[in-house]
Amino acid sequence: MILLYHNIADDSYPVERWHVGKGLPVSCFKQQILWLLRRRRVVSLKEYLDLTRYGSLPARNVVAITFDDGLASTFRRVSPILRQWAVPATFFISTSHLENGRMLWFCYLNALCFEGAYEEIEVDGDRFKLTTPEQRNHARRTLGAIARISGSPKSFTDELANAYPLPTIIKAEYAGMSDDQLSLVSRSDYLEGGAHTVSHPFLDRLSRQQQEKEITESKCQLSDLLGKPVRFFAYPNGDYNESTLNVVKDAGFEAAFTTYSRTNGTGGRFEIARTGIYSKAFSRFWLKTHGASTVARLLGRKMR
């Protein structure tokens, strides 16, 4: 089983702040890691793939850990835990937010809606109040849907950021990994970096040429930053199509990962499913690590 994490937040943060980014409090993450170390064999992604012949064979009681997006704040919170017990992990990193001051488009929306910088915003003539949890959740869902259908979520949020800039202290929480953090990954025997596109788009809404740019540039940029080859790729949002599969193969990746396999094309090593861990409840984590998500997928359902 390959576990997928996103944002890991401080325990003191309000629930809605970490929940919206598919996040967990750091204490929950630590509890889960300690449980895994006692009851599972935690291996690197490469070893997991070797044991399972790139996902084609079952691997009982063997777990690999992955993180998506490459947030500096998440790495800062999890790296001491991973280092203390030498826990292998792979970080799938989008490269555009590794530049100072930049935010991934969905990170900007999360910060805009949930960090309290504005009590109200106006977008395309529609006004969104941001004073109650219900209002903030509604605004985030609506703006996310607009970003998706816009064709370019990055361009949409860049324009929004011009109208509603965020304080530096807020942007820092959503920034990409620093040079020092990337260096730690590069030098580590148990951490690895994987590609996750440049700007975290919806790949299945892009042309083949646009997908090539996002995927191949992210691989080249990350390889330069880490000073080593980048072997693995993860599809942002779990969205991809047959063209995406072909681009990933042509880019020379050894394997690619999603949140669940859509079995487009030939599947196999380029459609390896992961199990997302998004709930604070340990009971849900227990169920997922015992295969509940797999059963749900077979029934055509999703399990948060």
Considering the domain 2-100+178-298, what is its CATH architecture? Alpha-Beta Barrel (3.20)
Binning pLDDT at 50, 70 and 90, where does residue 299 land?
Answer: very low
Is the per-residue pLDDT at 107 higher than 80? yes
Q: Are 186 and 193 in contact (CB under 8 A)?
A: yes
Given phi > 0 = left and psi -120 to 50 = alpha, else beta, which region is 48?
Answer: alpha
pLDDT in tens, 6-48: 989 888 876 666 556 578 999 999 999 999 999 999 999 999 9
Question: 183, 181, 192, 235: which is closest to 90 by C-alpha?
Answer: 192
d(CA 92, CA 119): 34
Domain range annotation of the chain? 2-100+178-298, 105-172
Is the per-residue pLDDT at 261 higher than 60? no
d(CA 95, CA 199): 7
> Per DSSP, which regions of 137-195 are E strands?
191-195
pLDDT above 70 covers a percentage of the chain that reads 90
Residue 17 confidence (pLDDT): 63
d(CA 195, CA 221): 9
pLDDT in tens, 111-167: 999 999 999 999 989 999 999 989 999 999 999 999 999 989 999 999 999 999 999
DSSP secondary structure letters along 158-223: HHHHHHS---HHHHHHTPBPPHHHHHHHHH-SSEEEEE--SS---GGGS-HHHHHHHHHHHHHHHH
d(CA 119, CA 107): 18
d(CA 293, CA 37): 21
Q: Can you read off the two tokens belonging to residue 122?
A: 């106006």
Is the per-residue pLDDT at 195 higher than 70? yes
**Is residue 173 classed as helix, strand or coil in its secondary structure?**
helix
Give me the mean pLDDT over the 252-263 stretch: 82
Give me the mean pLDDT over the 69-81 stretch: 95
Question: 135, 153, 136, 152: which is closest to 144 by C-alpha?
Answer: 153
Binning pLDDT at 50, 70 and 90, where does residue 49 land?
Answer: very high
